[in-house]
Every structure is written in structure tokens, then in C-alpha cells.
């Protein structure tokens, strides 16, 4: 992790540190590690998937307190097919 020197000591580093994990994944796997449906925090998937496969885990107590809304995965989007998961080149 790095913050451009002239922007350091402004709290940016602290905001970049992970306080939670959100996954779109297998319902038989992630709950075993404590993940629960992200709808608990009104956190929504950008994709039309069953609620029980979109899950979240707080890494610190109340790590998702006051967090809600639509998750965006810009790195997965194909410019020619907005909203679609990229499946390869
Ligand atoms: C480490 C780094 C990412 C911190 O980013 P940042 O945005 O400046 O951090 P924050 O503003 O969230 O700092 C929060 C607190 O962390 C501590 N802190 C931040 N930078 C520190 C430093 N260089 N040395 C000691 N403590 C530091 C301070 O307590 C700070 O609170 P303060 O502003 O009241 O002093 C940034 O200094 C950086 O990019 N450094 C160069 C790259 C690097 O060393 N990365 C880590 C290698 S894994």
C-alpha cells in the first residue's frame, strides 16, 4: 500500500485498509468462514444473483457499520459490454 507523499497523513491510508471482505461465491463454502448474506447491511450486488451467494465478513468489530449500497467491480467490466462479467480476452 502506498499513498503519494504529498497526500500522506490525511487519513487516506487508514481508509484503504481492509475492514471487511465482500464475496460473490459458493454458498457451501464461504459461510464456513463466517460470511453471511451482505443484505444484512443492505449491501447489494451489481449482478442479478441469489441473495445467499453475495456475502460479507467483518474483519474488525463493526467493520461494516454505516456501510451500505451497491458494490461496483469496475475491473471486471468489459468496456463493450457494461454490466457483464469478463470471461477472458
Ligand atoms: C504508510 C502509508 C500508506 C500511510 O498512508 P497515510 O495516508 O499517510 O496514512 P494515514 O493518514 O491514514 O495515517 C494514519 C496514522 O498512521 C500513522 N502514520 C502514518 N504514516 C506514518 C509514518 N510514515 N510513520 C509512522 N506513523 C505513520 C500516524 O499515526 C497517522 O496518524 P497522524 O496523521 O495523526 O500522525 C504512507 O505513509 C505511504 O504510502 N508510505 C510509503 C509506502 C509505504 O511505506 N507503504 C507501506 C509498506 S507495506
pLDDT in tens, 54-71: 999 999 999 999 999 999
Instruction: Tell the residue nearest (CA) to atom 3 of ligand 1.
Output: 2
Answer whether residue 12 shows pLDDT above 60: yes
CA 31 centroid distance within chain: 16
Instruction: Tell the residue nearest (CA) to atom 29 of ligand 1.
Output: 9
Residue 56 burial (CB count, 10 A): 22
CA-to-CA separations, 6 to 12, 16, 40, in angstroms, rounded: 11, 16, 38
DSSP SS3 for 30:
helix
| Domain boundaries of the chain, sorted by first residue | 15-85
- Residue 13 or 86, more confident: 13
Instruction: Tell the residue nearest (CA) to atom 33 of ligand 1.
Output: 9
pTM: 0.67
Of 52, 64, 56, nearest to 19 by C-alpha is 64
Q: What is the pLDDT of residue 16?
A: 85
> Residues with Cβ within 6 A of ligand 1?
1-3, 8-14
Amino acid at each position: 500500500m502506498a499513498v503519494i507523499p504529498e497526500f500522506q497523513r490525511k487519513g487516506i491510508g487508514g481508509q484503504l485498509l481492509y475492514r471487511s471482505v465482500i464475496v460473490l461465491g459458493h454458498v457451501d463454502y464461504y459461510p464456513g468462514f463466517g460470511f453471511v448474506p451482505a443484505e444484512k447491511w443492505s449491501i447489494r450486488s451489481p449482478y442479478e444473483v441469489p441473495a445467499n451467494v453475495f456475502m460479507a465478513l467483518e474483519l474488525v468489530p463493526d467493520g461494516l457499520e454505516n456501510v451500505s449500497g451497491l458494490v461496483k467491480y469496475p475491473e471486471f467490466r468489459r468496456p463493450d459490454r457494461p454490466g457483464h462479467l469478463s470471461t477472458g480476452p
